[in-house]
C-alpha cells in the first residue's frame, strides 16, 4: 500500500510529455527529444509515431496526448473540428516527395515514365495517409505533363501492389527489395536507408509540398511542457535538426 | 454449502471476466442501427474482403490439415531425438507477435529473402499475392491444429491399433480406419480453431502480403483500413468478423462430436 502510494508520489516529479507525431518525423523528433532531455533531466518525452490519420483517431478516443504533429493540414483540421486541439496550429516544417527503388533496381526503373510499365510492383501509403494522398496527387500531376502518356495515372495506380498503413512501411518494403519502387518523403531517405535505395527525383511541377502543422492537444496533461516542446521545434535549433533530417525548414 | 466469501469471489471473477470479454462484442453489436449495418455490409469493399477472407482461410485450413496431420501423428505416437524441440518449434507462432512472423516470412520467402532465389527459379514470387496471405495464415494457424490433433491421436488407446495390426491391418489401414476415426473429434476441433485463427490473422498478412483490395486485403485488414476514415464501415466489418468467428467456435461446441473434445480418452463406438 505504502509502496504504491510512494510510487504514485514519486511519479509526479518528472514530466512525461506525450507527443503524437506523424511517422515521417520519427528520426528528427527523436533527435530533438534527445537534446531537450539532456537540457532538462526531469523531462521525459514519449513518442507515438504512426500515420497522422491513426493519431487523430487515437486522440479522438481519449488518448492522453500533449502534442499532435500532423503530416498534413487536413488531418489537423479534422482534429480541430472535432475539438481536440488547443489554440492555433502552426506550420513547423515542409516536406517533398521522392521515388525510391531498391539498390540494384530489379525492375530497371530509370525514369518516372517506367513506373507505368506493366509488371512494376509499386508500393504507396494508403490514400487515407497524407503521404499516400500526396503520392497520388503527384502521379496525377505527372500524367498531365508533356512526355507522359495520357493513361499514365491509370497505369501507375494499376501497378500498386500494396497500400501501406504509414510511409515508413513503404520505405521498408523498398529497402527489403520486395517492392520495385515506392513514393516517400525526401526526409524518409535517412542515411541508413540511403545506402540501400536509389532516388529518382520528381520534377517541382509535379511534386507536392507537404506542410506539417503542430499544436497542443486540448486538455493536455502537460500543457506547459507541450508549449515548450513546440517552441523548441520552431526555434532555430529545432529547425536545424529538422533540416538536417531532410525537411524543408518552415521559418 | 460454500462459505459466502468464496461464492462472492467466484461471482466477481466470472462477472469481471465476462465484462472484459463480452462488453467489446456487445459494443460492436449496438453501435450501428440495423439499417446502417445492412448498408455498410453491402459495400463492395466489404463483400470483396469477406470473399477473400473465406477463400484464403478455407485454403489455409486444408493446407494445415494436410501438412499438420503427419506431424501430429509423429508427435503423438513416436519417440525420437529432438521431439521436444520440434514441439516447441510448432508452438512458437502462438506466442510470437504476428508482425514478427510477417518480417520473418519476408526475410525468408520474400523476393530478396533466403529462399527467394529458389522460389523464383520455380516461377513463384510470394509477397503481395493471395498465396502470401495463405502462407501467413498457415504460419499462425498451424499450432492450433497440431496441439489438438496431437492430443487427440495420443489419447487413442494403443490396444485398438495394436489389435488392428494383429488382425492383419496394414499401417495405412490402421491409421485411416482405426486411429483417425477415433481421433476425429480432436482433429476436427483443431481444424476449426485453425480456421478461426486464420480468419482473424492481421499482422503477418499486412507485413508479408501487403494490403490491396481483392488480392491481399482480408477482413481484418479491411477493418484496419476503414478505421482510418470510416468508423461505421470498420464497426460493421468487425461485427461480421466477430459473428463469423463466434459461429465457428460455437459450432465446435455444439457439433455432434464436439462433446468428446477434451473429454474422456477416445474409444471405438458401436455402429
Q: Which of chain B's residues have a Cβ under 8 Å away from the Cβ of A51?
A: 228
**Beta sheet of A97-102, edge-to-edge order:** A160-164, A122-125, A181-185, A97-102, A197-200
The C-alpha atoms of residue A178 and residue A111 are separated, in whole angstroms, by 19
Map out the domains of chain B with their CATH numbers.
52-219 (1.10.3720.10)
Residue of A nearest to B104 (CA): A176
- Cα B52 to the center of its chain, rounded Å: 16
Residues whose CB is less than 8 angstroms from the CB of residue B188 and which lie 6 or more positions away in sequence, other chains included: B255, B257
Where is B67: in which H helix or E strand?
Answer: helix B44-77
The partner residue sitting opposite A164, judged by closest CB among B107, B211, B227, is B211
Q: Flag if B212 and A163 touch (Cβ within 8 Å).
A: yes
Residue of A nearest to B109 (CA): A178
Q: Which of chain A's residues have a Cβ under 8 Å away from the Cβ of B229?
A: 53, 128
Q: Are A113 and A147 in contact (CB under 8 A)?
A: yes
The partner residue sitting opposite B112, judged by closest CB among A53, A123, A178, is A178
Query: Residue B266 corresponds to which cell in the numbers above?
Result: 477416445
Choose from A70, A119, A163 for mutation: most chain B CBs within 10 A: A163
Q: Flag if B212 and A177 touch (Cβ within 8 Å).
A: no
Query: Residue A48 corresponds to which cell in the numbers above?
Result: 507515438
User: What's chain A look like in SS3?
Assistant: CHHHHHHHHHHCCCEEEEEEEEHHHHHHHHHHHHHHHHHCCCEEEEEEEECHHHHHHHHHCCCCCCEEECCCHHHHHHHHHCCCEEEEEEEEEEECEEEEEECCCCCCCCCHHHHHCCCCCEEEECCCCHHHHHHHHHHHHHHCCCCCCCCHHHHHHHCEEEEECCHHHHHHHHHCCCCCEEEEEHHHCCHHHHCCEEEECCCCCCCCCEEEEEEEECCCCCHHHHHHHHHHHHCHHHHHHHHHCCCEECC
Inform me whether the C-beta atom of residue B53 falls under 8 Å from chain A C-beta atoms: no
The sign of the dihedral angle between the CA atoms of B97, B103, B108, B109 is positive
Residues of A with CB under 8 A from a CB of B: 51, 53-54, 57, 102, 106, 121, 123, 126, 128-129, 160-165, 173, 176-179
Q: pLDDT tens digit string along A39-58? A: 988 999 999 999 898 899 89
Q: Flag if A121 and B227 touch (Cβ within 8 Å).
A: no
Q: What is the CATH number of domain A3-94+211-249?
A: 3.40.190.10
Residue of B nearest to A174 (CA): B112
Choose from A123, A162, A166, A173 for mutation: most chain B CBs within 10 A: A162
Environment class of B44 (CB within 10 Å of its CB; exposed 0-12, middle 13-18, buried 19+): exposed
Choose from B228, B230, B235 for mutation: most chain A CBs within 10 A: B228
Q: Which of chain B's residues have a Cβ under 8 Å away from the Cβ of A77?
A: none
In angstroms, how far is the first alpha carbon of chain A from the final one? 51
Same fold, A3-94+211-249 and A97-200: yes
* Full pLDDT tens readout for chain A, 251 residues: 455 554 455 555 688 999 999 998 999 999 999 999 999 889 999 999 998 988 998 999 888 899 999 999 999 999 999 999 999 999 999 999 999 999 999 999 999 999 999 999 999 999 989 999 999 999 999 999 999 999 999 999 999 999 998 999 999 999 999 999 999 999 999 888 999 999 999 999 999 999 999 999 999 999 999 999 999 999 999 999 999 999 998 87
Q: Flag if B210 and A102 touch (Cβ within 8 Å).
A: no
Inform me whether the C-beta atom of residue B132 falls under 8 Å from chain A C-beta atoms: no
Bin A87: left if φ > 0, else alpha if -120 < ψ < 50, else beta. Answer: left
Average pLDDT, chain A: 91
Mean pLDDT per 10-residue segment, chain B (271 residues)? 87 95 92 91 90 97 97 92 93 92 94 91 92 97 96 87 82 84 92 95 94 94 86 91 92 72 48 41
Q: Flag if B111 and A177 touch (Cβ within 8 Å).
A: yes
Q: Which of chain A's residues have a Cβ under 8 Å away from the Cβ of B127?
A: 161, 178
Least Cα separation, residue A182 to chain B (angstroms)? 13
Q: pLDDT tens digit string along A94-148? A: 999 999 999 999 999 999 999 999 999 999 999 989 999 999 999 999 999 999 9
Residue of A nearest to B102 (CA): A173
Instruction: Return the residue matching grid coordinates 517506367.
Output: A114
Residue of B nearest to A158 (CA): B212
The partner residue sitting opposite A163, judged by closest CB among B110, B209, B211, is B211
The C-alpha atoms of residue A70 and residue A118 are separated, in whole angstroms, by 34
Q: What is the CATH number of domain A97-200?
A: 3.40.190.10
The partner residue sitting opposite B111, judged by closest CB among A54, A164, A178, is A178
φ and ψ at A106, to 5 degrees?
-55, -30
Q: Domain segments of chain A: what residues?
A: 3-94+211-249, 97-200
Amino acid at each position: 500500500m505504502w509502496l504504491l502510494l510512494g510510487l504514485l508520489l514519486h511519479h509526479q516529479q518528472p514530466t512525461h510529455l506525450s507527443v503524437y507525431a506523424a511517422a515521417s518525423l520519427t528520426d528528427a523528433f527523436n533527435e530533438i527529444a534527445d537534446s531537450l532531455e539532456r537540457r532538462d533531466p526531469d523531462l521525459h518525452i514519449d513518442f507515438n509515431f504512426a500515420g497522422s490519420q491513426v493519431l487523430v483517431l487515437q486522440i479522438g478516443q481519449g488518448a492522453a496526448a500533449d502534442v499532435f504533429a500532423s503530416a498534413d493540414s487536413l488531418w489537423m483540421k479534422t482534429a480541430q473540428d472535432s475539438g481536440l486541439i488547443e489554440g492555433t496550429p502552426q506550420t513547423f516544417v515542409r516536406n517533398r516527395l521522392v521515388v525510391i527503388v531498391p539498390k540494384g533496381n530489379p525492375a530497371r526503373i530509370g525514369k518516372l515514365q517506367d513506373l507505368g510499365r506493366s509488371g512494376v510492383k509499386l508500393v504507396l501509403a494508403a490514400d487515407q495517409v497524407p503521404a499516400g494522398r500526396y503520392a497520388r496527387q503527384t502521379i496525377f500531376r505527372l500524367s498531365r505533363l508533356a512526355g507522359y502518356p495520357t493513361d499514365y495515372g491509370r497505369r501507375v495506380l494499376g501497378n500498386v501492389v500494396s497500400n501501406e498503413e504509414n510511409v515508413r512501411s513503404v520505405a521498408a518494403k523498398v529497402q527489403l527489395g520486395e517492392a520495385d519502387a515506392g513514393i516517400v518523403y525526401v526526409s524518409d531517405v535517412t542515411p541508413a536507408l540511403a545506402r540501400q535505395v536509389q532516388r529518382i527525383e520528381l520534377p517541382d511541377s509535379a511534386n507536392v509540398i507537404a506542410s506539417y502543422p503542430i499544436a497542443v492537444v486540448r486538455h493536455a496533461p502537460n500543457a506547459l511542457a507541450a508549449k515548450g516542446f513546440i517552441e523548441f521545434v520552431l526555434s532555430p535549433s529545432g529547425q536545424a535538426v529538422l533540416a538536417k533530417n531532410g525537411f524543408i525548414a518552415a521559418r | 454449502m460454500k462459505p459466502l466469501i468464496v461464492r462472492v469471489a467466484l461471482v466477481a471473477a466470472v462477472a469481471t471476466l465476462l465484462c472484459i470479454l463480452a462488453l467489446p462484442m456487445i459494443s460492436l453489436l449496438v453501435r450501428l442501427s440495423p439499417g446502417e449495418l445492412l448498408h455498410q455490409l453491402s459495400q463492395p469493399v466489404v463483400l470483396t474482403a469477406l470473399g477473400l477472407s473465406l477463400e484464403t482461410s478455407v485454403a489455409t485450413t486444408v493446407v494445415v490439415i494436410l501438412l499438420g496431420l503427419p506431424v501430429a501423428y509423429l508427435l503423438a505416437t513416436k519417440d525420437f531425438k529432438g521431439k521436444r524441440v520440434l514441439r516447441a518449434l510448432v508452438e512458437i507462432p502462438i506466442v510470437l507477435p504476428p508482425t514478427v512472423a510477417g518480417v520473418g516470412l519476408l526475410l525468408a520467402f520474400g523476393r530478396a529473402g533466403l529462399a527467394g532465389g529458389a522460389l523464383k527459379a520455380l516461377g513463384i514470387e510470394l509477397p503481395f499475392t493471395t498465396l502470401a496471405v495463405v502462407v501467413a495464415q498457415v504460419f499462425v494457424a498451424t499450432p492450433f491444429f497440431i496441439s489438438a490433433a496431437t492430443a487427440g491421436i495420443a489419447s487413442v488407446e494403443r490396444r485398438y491399433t495394436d489389435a488392428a495390426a494383429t488382425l492383419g491391418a496394414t499401417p495405412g489401414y490402421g491409421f485411416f480406419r482405426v486411429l483417425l476415426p477415433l481421433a476425429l473429434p480432436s482433429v476436427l476441433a483443431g481444424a476449426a480453431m485453425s480456421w478461426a485463427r486464420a480468419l482473424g490473422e492481421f499482422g503477418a498478412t499486412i507485413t508479408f502480403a501487403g494490403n490491396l483490395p481483392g488480392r491481399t486485403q482480408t477482413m481484418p485488414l479491411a477493418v484496419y483500413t476503414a478505421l482510418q476514415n470510416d468508423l461505421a464501415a470498420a464497426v460493421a466489418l468487425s461485427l461480421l468478423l466477430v459473428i463469423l468467428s463466434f459461429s465457428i467456435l460455437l459450432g465446435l461446441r455444439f457439433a455432434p462430436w464436439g462433446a468428446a473434445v477434451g473429454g474422456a480418452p477416445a474409444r471405438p463406438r458401436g455402429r
